[in-house]
Amino acid sequence: MGADDSVAVSTGMSAVDYVVLIGLLGGSLFIGVYHAIFRKQKSTADYLVGGRSMPLLPTAISLLASYISAILILGVPAEFSYHGSALWEAMYSNIIAFPLVAYIFVPTFYRLKLTSAYEYLELRFDNYLIRLLASLTFAMQSMLYLGVVVFAPSIALHTVSGFPYWVSMVSIGLIGTFYTAIGGLRAVVWTDVLQGVLMLGGLVAIIAIGAFRIGGLSEAFRISGEHGRLDFLNFDPNPFLRHTTLICVIGGIFNTTATFGCHQTSVQRYCSTSTLKSAVWTMLLNIPLLTLMVSLGWIAGAVVFANYAECDPVLTGHIKNKDAIVPYFVLRYFSGTPGLVGLFVASLVSASLSSVSSLLNSMAAVVWQDFFSQLSYFSKKDEQAQLNITKALGFTFGFMMIGLGFLVSNMSGLIQTTFTLVGAIQGPLLGVFLIALFVPWANKYVYK
């Protein structure tokens, strides 16, 4: 199994590994507490869009970190190991989708100074019901996705340390909920930067050590190619195939446009910057940033697969779930160097926390802006009371997210689960926005 089959699998994390992990969690909490105490929010605008004064580069990194999540570190390498590289070709769509978003969606929403993306739908169609339905759809999608995100790192923590799944989910859920609810968007953005660096470090460590064990990256790609895992430029029109170039590119254009163009988390990010130019560049910088991070995930997949090409740990019974192949690899080959297992777990927890914090903050923004603020009972309250209600919403959604994590734990395949949940809901939402932006004669009436 791999280059050196004599390596024993460690049974847990060392003291140094725990120090690294605790350092991440402590750093995230510190940033949240700092912004709650020393950068106190005075209004819901401060809390939800950072006073519309967020700097360009941290906001761009935060936008990236919000979407790559633990699924990149667990699901993408597992997808490569068991289904090949074809899904990477969705990255081709970035050169079409991101400029479309940057020069059409961003200017439209930014100039309106939106807090909720769905405010635009009411303005465009002169109909609150459309805004309400879109907001409900977003909230439903986000809660389901949060369940996946909070469950993903529990797979790794259980594999490398024996933590029960519920302990991991509750711990990550509570920490993410706490610093998000008290620190607002500023805390979310700056913790995303910290967590983004750790995610990058975790992927690089997997690639470096895994490639070293089998003789280099070229050897990893050679082995992957021999076993049919390098599958590019497949133009088979059969729609029933799992992935082809056409499916990935066409699907990628719609997925990226929906995710970065009209998804609440993205709109909230670029509307928080100080100028329209910064908002546009926040989006354009994600072309190289997203391509880099996703590519590192696929390279990690090639390296992990090459180490187990002749001995699948699922078939041998070492792991029960294909999504556990990366944690198993890390536990087997990282345990000899103090701190490396901790770095991997920290990177995985970082990926989860970045998505958790972003979505919780966005859900608080949508529910406050689209529901509570429309009711005279809440809209007549002073700024501090409105701010407290918004923070309470963040805590509420955090507790709901933990419950959904237990539901998602019964599903198999992170990539497939995520695409199923997101695609079923995000597609119709994108359709509404595309009609609003590109079909000027469309209105709220069925007949005139």
139: pLDDT strictly greater than 70: yes
On whether the CB atoms of residues 33 and 186 are closer than 8 A, the answer is no
3: pLDDT strictly greater than 70: no
**169 domain residue, yes or no:** yes
With b meaning 16 or more CB within 10 Å and e meaning fewer, what string describes 223-232? Answer: bbeeeebbbe
411: pLDDT strictly greater than 90: no
Could you read off the pLDDT of 60-78 as tens digits, one per residue?
Answer: 998 888 777 667 787 788 8
448: pLDDT strictly greater than 50: no
On whether the CB atoms of residues 193 and 58 are closer than 8 A, the answer is yes
- pLDDT the model gives residue 419: 56
Domain count, the chain: 1
Lowest mean pLDDT among 174-183, 202-211, 237-246, 322-331: 237-246
Q: What's the whole-number mean pLDDT along residues 53-60?
A: 90
**29 domain residue, yes or no:** no
- pLDDT the model gives residue 383: 83
Q: What's the whole-number mean pLDDT along residues 128-142?
A: 88
Alpha helices, DSSP H only, in 239-316?
245-261, 264-270, 276-284, 286-307
User: What CATH number did the domain enclosing 324 receive?
Assistant: 1.20.1730.10
Range of the domain at 330: 36-436
Q: Which one is predicted more confidently, 80 or 266?
A: 266
Residue 54 bridge partners (DSSP): 273
- pLDDT the model gives residue 426: 75
- pLDDT the model gives residue 319: 76
Q: Rounded CA gap, 239 and 76, in Å?
A: 22
**7 domain residue, yes or no:** no
Copy the structure tokens of residue 229.
């895992």
Could you read off the pLDDT of 71-124 as tens digits, one per residue?
Answer: 778 778 888 888 777 778 888 888 899 999 999 999 999 999 888 999 999 999
- pLDDT the model gives residue 447: 47
**241 domain residue, yes or no:** yes
- pLDDT the model gives residue 366: 92
Contacts of 301 (CB under 8 A, 6+ apart): 76, 77, 78, 79, 80, 81, 85
Please report how the helices 165-214 and 340-370 are oriented relative to each other, as an axis angle in degrees rounded to 10.
130
* Spatial CA neighbour of 159 closest among 73, 72, 220, 224: 73
Q: What's the whole-number mean pLDDT along residues 187-196?
A: 88
140: pLDDT strictly greater than 90: no
- pLDDT the model gives residue 110: 93
Could you read off the pLDDT of 270-280 as tens digits, one per residue?
Answer: 999 989 999 99
Q: Rounded CA gap, 187 and 72, in Å?
A: 23
Q: What's the whole-number mean pLDDT along residues 123-141?
A: 88
Q: Rounded CA gap, 63 and 56, in Å?
A: 11
2: pLDDT strictly greater than 50: no
pLDDT band at 423 (very low <50, low <70, confident <90, very high): low
Q: What's the whole-number mean pLDDT along residues 366-389?
A: 87
Q: What's the whole-number mean pLDDT along residues 282-301?
A: 91
Q: What's the whole-number mean pLDDT along residues 317-323?
A: 75
Q: Average model confidence (pLDDT) for the chain?
A: 82
Q: Which one is predicted more confidently, 438 or 24?
A: 438
Secondary structure element (H or E) that encloses residue 173, with its range:
helix 165-214
* Residue 354: how many other CB atoms lie within 10 Å: 32
CA-to-CA separations, 198 to 65, 191, 218, 344, 428, in angstroms, rounded: 11, 11, 26, 8, 34
pLDDT band at 352 (very low <50, low <70, confident <90, very high): confident
- pLDDT the model gives residue 343: 84
**4 domain residue, yes or no:** no
- pLDDT the model gives residue 226: 83
**444 domain residue, yes or no:** no
pLDDT band at 6 (very low <50, low <70, confident <90, very high): very low
Q: pTM of the entire structure? A: 0.84
- pLDDT the model gives residue 184: 87
**45 domain residue, yes or no:** yes
- pLDDT the model gives residue 9: 43
Residue 411, Cβ density class (10 Å: 0-12 exposed, 13-18 middle, ≥19 buried): middle
**372 domain residue, yes or no:** yes
